[in-house]
Amino acid sequence: MNKLFKILLVLLISSTAIAQDIKYLRYDTDLLSSQFHKNRRGEVRKQMPENSVAVLFAAPVRNRSNDNDYAYHQSPDFYYLTGNTEPNSMLVIAKNEIEIDGKKSNEFLFVQRRNPFAEIWTGRRLGIKGAEQLLGFDAVFISGDFENTNIDFRNFSSVLILREPTGVVSDRNAQDDLWMLIDNFRSKVNANAVPDLHGKATVLDSVQLDDILKELREIKQPEEMTLMRKAVDISCDGHIEMMRKTKPGMHEYEVQAVGQYVFEKNGSEYVGYPSICGGGENSVILHYQTNRKKLSDKDLILLDMAAEYHGYTADITRTLPVNGKFSPEQKIIYDLVLQAQDSGIANCLPGNSFMAPHNAAVRVISRGLKELGIIKSESEYRKYFMHGTSHYLGLDVHDAGTRGNLKTGSIITVEPGIYIAEGSDCDKKWWNIGVRIEDDILITETGRENLSAKAPRTTADIEKKMEETSPIFK
């Protein structure tokens, strides 16, 4: 009787889950369209060599502890080409139309199957129908069935792949396991590889697809720019509230909570990267993440924090005096960094070298540090400015790009900094002053646009903003 009851329960839950209205899979109305992703696949296909196929895998699920996983985050490349935010998936793009198990197309998506029991715990899945209707694919298969599909890689002159996802582990309880999906792909490729005249099997191309995607993702499309502007605007609002709220006696994590509350209140699903909230001696640690210190009256706090919105992230840094007023030494270093940033931003022009903003910032900082007596020779600037000034921004905080000359439609950061740790070989009055100022710069046809200019940058504007009362946190 118990066995019969279980069977009936499975059938009941299964039929109910499969019948769920497709609308419950998506609540946001401003996601990238399925046509956007289809167009991106088309652009990849244009650059693929004749008679080739490209294969991409979703990101793995990552375990936090015991039976708890981290919140799932899709591979940016996979999301860019599919819009699929689920794990255990694979995309196949063919240069020309091919047939797999009776379905003819030049793009095939493999997704995890609907699982009524799993969906009770972790939410609804796309399945084949969801992928067809929401993601716009005509040829969709279940990932666990890939092993038995009739795709023969001997028919292609080249197989383009990306570097395999790291941290993939076998889940014996999963029907559509990413580990098994990748293993089956390896088996198919190895089994079907055609030895050349020297008896060596065909080598997969792990470079060309990466180069194609770097070039495409570097230039943001109009739909992407809408989401980027939203992410940046949300992030600026968070920084403004942190300016209004930061006071001596708060902990770094309290300031962090103010910013992240504003991010999520305005629709951000995640932070773009682990929040850096370093006060006093922690302001000189580039990627400080502990965020536990209690802030004192004379501290600076360096806030490198930003929101991610529908996959796209901002990257903004502001440095604040905890008591609301910069000391003379703090202001001198801050203004030097600001001057360097202004010089870097001025060099954000289409056609300029990717390194032009960095080189401009270095010239200002190296000269300024020498004039202040903090370094003896301009060549010593790396003691206190030890990182690059720019990186691309988009689906990754350090986004894909060619690092060639700056192009219209690309977004880069400009983020010089000076970090003078306690014990440094200079006057003690400079110790524990860490300043970074970071903005998100869109390269336009005629110059650039500072997307994050809404967040105050000058010492005067920051001090004025810190005098305001927060309308959110009384």
Residue 82 backbone zone (phi > 0: left; psi -120 to 50: alpha; other: beta) = alpha
- Give ranges for CATH 3.90.230.10 in the chain: 219-466
Report pLDDT digits (tens) over 388-398.
Answer: 999 999 999 99
- Give ranges for CATH 3.40.350.10 in the chain: 20-215
Active-site residue, 67 included: yes
Active-site residue, 69 included: no
d(CA 299, CA 153): 61
Instruction: To the nearest 10°, report the CA torsion of 342, 343, 349, 354.
Output: -110
The active-site residue, picked from 398, 403, 425, 461, is: 398
417 pLDDT more than 80? yes
More confident residue, 260 or 169: 260
User: Is 173 buried (19+), middle (13-18) or exposed (0-12) by CB count in 10 A?
Assistant: exposed
CATH of 219-466, one of 3.90.230.10, 3.40.630.30, 3.40.50.2300, 3.40.50.620: 3.90.230.10
Cβ contacts of 232 within 8 Å, gap of 6 or more: 306, 314, 316, 440, 451, 452
Active-site residue, 415 included: yes
Active-site residue, 358 included: no
More confident residue, 139 or 473: 139
Active-site residue, 310 included: no
Active-site residue, 107 included: no
The active-site residue, picked from 229, 342, 387, 463, is: 387
Share above pLDDT 90 across residues of the chain, in percent, rounded to a whole number: 84
- Which of 98, 91, 82 lies closest to 150, judged by CA? 98
Put simply, whether the predicted model's pTM sits higher than 0.85 gets the answer yes
pLDDT band with cut points at 50, 70 and 90 for residue 173? confident
- Which of 82, 75, 86 lies closest to 114, judged by CA? 86
- Which of 423, 83, 92 lies closest to 284, judged by CA? 423
The active-site residue, picked from 26, 154, 186, 287, is: 287
Instruction: To the nearest 10°, report the CA torsion of 343, 344, 349, 354.
Output: 150
Residues 244, 79 contacting (CB under 8 angstroms): no
The radius of gyration computed from the CA coordinates of the chain, to the nearest angstrom, equals 26
Tally Cβ neighbours within 10 Å of residue 45. 17
The active-site residue, picked from 67, 97, 163, 445, is: 67
Please give the CATH number for the structural domain made up of 20-215.
3.40.350.10
Ranking 120-124, 225-229, 347-351, 423-427 by mean pLDDT, the lowest is: 120-124
The active-site residue, picked from 415, 439, 440, 457, is: 415
Active-site residue, 28 included: no
The active-site residue, picked from 119, 304, 399, 439, is: 304
Ranking 153-162, 301-310, 358-367 by mean pLDDT, the lowest is: 153-162
Active-site residue, 239 included: no
The active-site residue, picked from 217, 310, 318, 391, is: 391
The active-site residue, picked from 315, 396, 439, 440, is: 315
Active-site residue, 438 included: yes
